[in-house]
Amino acid sequence: MDIMKKTEEMARKAKLAASAMANLSTSLKNKALLAMAKAIQEKAEDIISKNRIDVKEAKEKGLAISLIDRLTVNDKRISNMSKGLREIAELPDPVGEVIEHKVRPNGLRIDKVRVPLGVVAIIYESRPNVTCDAAGLCLKAGNAVILRGGSEAINSNMIIAKVLQEAAYSSGIPQGAIQLVETTDREAVSQLVKMDGFIDVVIPRGSEEMIKKIKANATVPVIGHGKGLCHIYVDKSADLRMAERICFNAKVQRPGVCNAMETLLVHKDIAGEFLPGMIKKFEEAKVEIRGDEKTKSILSHVKSAREEDWSTEYLDLILSVKVVDSLSEAIDHINKYGSMHSEAILARDKDAAQKFLKEVDASSVFWNASTRFTDGGEFGMGAEIGISNQKLHARGPMGVRELTSTKFVIYGDGQIRE
């Protein structure tokens, strides 16, 4: 069967499944999620074995260490996948939730109610855990899902999807509710993003280049999950010991993820005191520093930052550093170069912090905390589809509630419009 026919067949199955999914009871969905969580744990050895094939091929192709880290599945990550599914099962079911109620003067009762999106196509790169998280979240929100992972993770994704499907379908979830595109041919993506009659929304999660291409070619609505060019601004009022801890965590704890810090901004009044110790700690952790002229005037040995560094998501142990004259300059820099993902201010000055939180344009803004917390699990969502850095339909980490839409339900007793 050619790619066009195969992709359309998947979309048709998903559309049929979505109608049934919208009417499933909460108890059945939770039963399936718990069965999926158990199956993932029980099949850990098989999943890790298949993942080793992908990791080996990635290393042979010379993929970056940060990408190989994202690709790798181990016992801890299997445990986290299983835990995520159990946490999703514990979340309130958003389907049917009345989020607004009003009674009009003519007696009409109007409810605004949460409903599933329908068929969700998720296109993503590298991380096999997304296969698990996305399937679980879409199931809880009453959606059918078509998953299309990257070619570098094809073996991992296929085994994870198979384990999830068997557990879900044996629990009563309709066939076709969880599907994986098993071809690595990009033509399948080109077809998916144009299937308006079957697919309700496309969620791309990966490189900026991939997302731009999908947005340019899609006729299905797209919710983009783009790059994370995250900043931390250390204000002149900051607790410098706290700042050192937070900045180190935001860059070093896991540099290859979208909520890691890529640029450090420091107020000129404390730069001379703060930067020598901070940069020494970074360099001991093998972080390459690229500083502006003011940073180099304090630490002459650091590499000079170029204009393109301010707009680069390194996903690596590389950090841009800039000394700024004011809070306003920091905010302007972030709003010019940032990707509207996650931004933080470290300050004791409440007024400075509030100005930053109000004026920085990003999906998540932090005061005295690491940007590494921008995550569905850390936000109490159980897991996430990804982190949307656009402004429609959802922004920031997308969990179960963000995978629903709404409809108005109106109750009357004979009213007519005059």
DSSP class per residue in 86-123: HHHHHSPP-TT-EEEEEE-TTS-EEEEEEEE--EEEEE
What's the mean pLDDT in 191-210?
Answer: 91
pTM attached to this predicted model: 0.89
Residue 1 has pLDDT above 70, yes or no: no
- Asked if residues 215 and 224 have their Cβ atoms less than 8 Å apart, the reply is yes
Burial of residue 35 (CB within 10 Å: 0-12, 13-18, 19+) is buried
Q: Which domains does the chain have, with CATH numbers?
A: 3-225+385-411 (3.40.605.10), 230-373 (3.40.309.10)
The tokens of 208 are what?
């900026």
- Written as one letter, the residue type at 277 is G
Q: Residue 70 above 90 pLDDT?
A: no
Residues 254-275 have pLDDT tens digits of 998 899 999 999 999 999 999 9
Q: CB-side exposure of 359: number of CA atoms within 13 Å?
A: 17
Residue 225 gets which letter from DSSP?
A: B
Is residue 361's pLDDT more than 70?
yes
Report the percent of the chain where pLDDT is more than 70: 100
DSSP state of 306: P
Residue 282 clears pLDDT 80, i.e. is over it: yes
